[in-house]
């Protein structure tokens, strides 16, 4: 079976998460990714632990499958020469150094494009290559200055970061999309180009409806806990034992909800006659619904409401979430088998003809030290 990105060669100069996540997605789809790491040190995330799996950081293992690793020192002339040869023959270079940092090694976009006009060069930064070029790009800082923390957490409470490096992940997705768009253009015209993504722009775009509301009305949103600024009820609701997340986003879904909980009168209440009124009168609405939900536990209401077409679900921990995905036939885990010794989270993209593949484990540092020579010989 031919993979979607078979034949695409990627020189990965990135580290930590945004860049490695992007290149892992490309590798899953068939690209040949050569990860360049510092000799004796490697990617920063090799030491980000606990937890460990058989002595290796799970952080690194979760974002570097299907890649080869070579240990090369950009400051060493001989290693730099190898990097230049690789870049001259590859399809994609991806890096997340500060703007201009690679120019002194002859590895900037303008320098490499002179010898490889078809090169797609992706640069990931924290705050762009202009006025924010001097600022370090970390997910926590992007969540803070980008407004995400200001709308996360309990109302009136401390601004809160999301529980994972979400901005890095979103930026990595943007990088993967940009690279593939640029490859499509290259295939049509022969022209490579520079692809730039940054954490701040990515988080502003990811704030979606909150960002749109601000741009169009000047509104500055604030943290509302688990409530939604524009829809009600759209939040966890208390039951007899634990909360149940309920998303009744239309009048029809609201009517189904209140009928299921034995309160059809709420659909006729003038305070709740439309979504806008339900948002305005949210405290009174939630009190009425939770009073009825107190009669049974969350599992009862999950079965009852979902059976009637009301979107809802229990608040699972991560173990329960994987169990649910497994029960639904989504096969969320790719087990270790054959030469692969590390189980992986399945790539979420399903392609009917060119599916993602899971070929090799995340590499040991410098495990493919001879890889560059072989890669050049194959070109």
Q: How far apart, in whole angstroms, are the C-alpha atoms of residue 306 and residue 374?
A: 55
Q: Mean pLDDT of all residues in the chain?
A: 95
Under 8 Å CB-to-CB from 268, ≥6 apart: which residues? none
Strand 244-247 relative to strand 92-95: parallel, antiparallel, unpaired? unpaired
Mean pLDDT computed over 269-293:
97
Strand 333-334 relative to strand 344-345: parallel, antiparallel, unpaired? antiparallel
| Same fold yes or no, 9-206+334-378 and 234-327 | no
pLDDT band at 369 (very low <50, low <70, confident <90, very high): confident
Under 8 Å CB-to-CB from 68, ≥6 apart: which residues? 32, 33, 34, 35, 363, 367, 368, 371
Q: Which two tokens stand for residue 360?
A: 């090799």
**Letter string b/e over residues 165-175, b meaning 16 or more CB atoms within 10 A of that residue's CB:** bbbbbbbbbbb
Which single residue is written with the structure tokens 């303008």? 110
Architecture of domain 9-206+334-378: 3-Layer(aba) Sandwich (3.40)
The pLDDT tens digits of the residues spanning 14-50 come to 999 999 999 999 999 999 999 999 999 999 999 999 9
pLDDT band at 188 (very low <50, low <70, confident <90, very high): very high
Q: What's the whole-model pTM score?
A: 0.92
Please give the positions annotated as active site. 168
Report percent pLDDT > 90 for the chain: 95
Mean pLDDT computed over 341-345:
96
Instruction: Break the chain into its structural domains and give their ranges.
Output: 9-206+334-378, 234-327
Q: Taking the domain 234-327, which CATH number applies?
A: 3.30.1540.10
Element (H, E) at 246: strand 244-247
Under 8 Å CB-to-CB from 275, ≥6 apart: which residues? 231, 232, 249, 250, 251, 254
Mean pLDDT computed over 254-282:
97
């Amino acid at each position: 079976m031919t993979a979607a990105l078979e034949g695409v060669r990627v020189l990965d100069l990135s580290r930590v998460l945004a860049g490695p996540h992007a290149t892992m997605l490309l590798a899953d789809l068939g690209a040949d990714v050569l990860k360049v790491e510092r000799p004796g040190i490697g990617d920063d995330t090799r030491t980000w632990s606990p937890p460990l799996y058989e002595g290796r950081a799970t952080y690194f293992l979760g974002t570097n499958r299907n890649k080869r690793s070579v240990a090369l020192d950009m400051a060493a002339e001989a290693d730099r020469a190898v990097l230049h040869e690789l870049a001259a023959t590859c399809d994609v270079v991806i890096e997340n150094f500060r703007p201009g940092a690679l120019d002194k090694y002859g590895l900037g976009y303008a320098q490499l494009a002179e010898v490889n006009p078809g090169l797609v060069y992706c640069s990931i930064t924290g705050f762009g290559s202009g006025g924010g070029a001097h600022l370090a790009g970390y997910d926590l800082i992007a969540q803070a200055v980008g407004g995400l923390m200001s709308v996360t957490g309990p109302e009136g409470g401390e601004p809160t970061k999301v529980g994972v490096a979400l901005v890095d992940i979103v930026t990595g997705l943007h990088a993967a999309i940009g690279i593939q768009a640029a490859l499509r253009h290259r295939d049509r015209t022969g022209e490579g180009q520079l692809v730039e993504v940054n954490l701040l722009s990515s988080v502003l775009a990811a704030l979606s409806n909150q960002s749109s509301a601000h741009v169009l009305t000047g509104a500055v949103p604030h943290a509302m806990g688990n409530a939604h600024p524009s829809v009600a009820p759209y939040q966890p609701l208390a039951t007899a034992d634990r909360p149940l997340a309920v998303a009744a986003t239309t009048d029809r879904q609201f009517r189904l909800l209140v009928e299921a909980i034995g309160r059809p009168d709420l659909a006729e209440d003038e305070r709740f006659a439309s979504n806008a009124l339900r948002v305005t009168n949210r405290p009174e609405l939630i009190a009425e619904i939770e009073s009825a939900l107190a009669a049974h536990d969350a599992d009862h209401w999950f079965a009852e409401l979902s059976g009637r077409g009301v979107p809802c679900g229990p608040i699972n921990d991560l173990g329960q979430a994987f169990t649910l995905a497994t029960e639904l036939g989504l096969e969320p885990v790719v087990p270790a088998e054959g030469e692969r010794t590390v189980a992986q989270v399945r790539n979420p993209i399903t392609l009917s003809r060119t599916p993602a593949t899971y070929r090799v484990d995340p590499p040991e540092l410098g495990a493919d030290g001879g890889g560059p020579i072989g890669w050049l010989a194959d070109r």
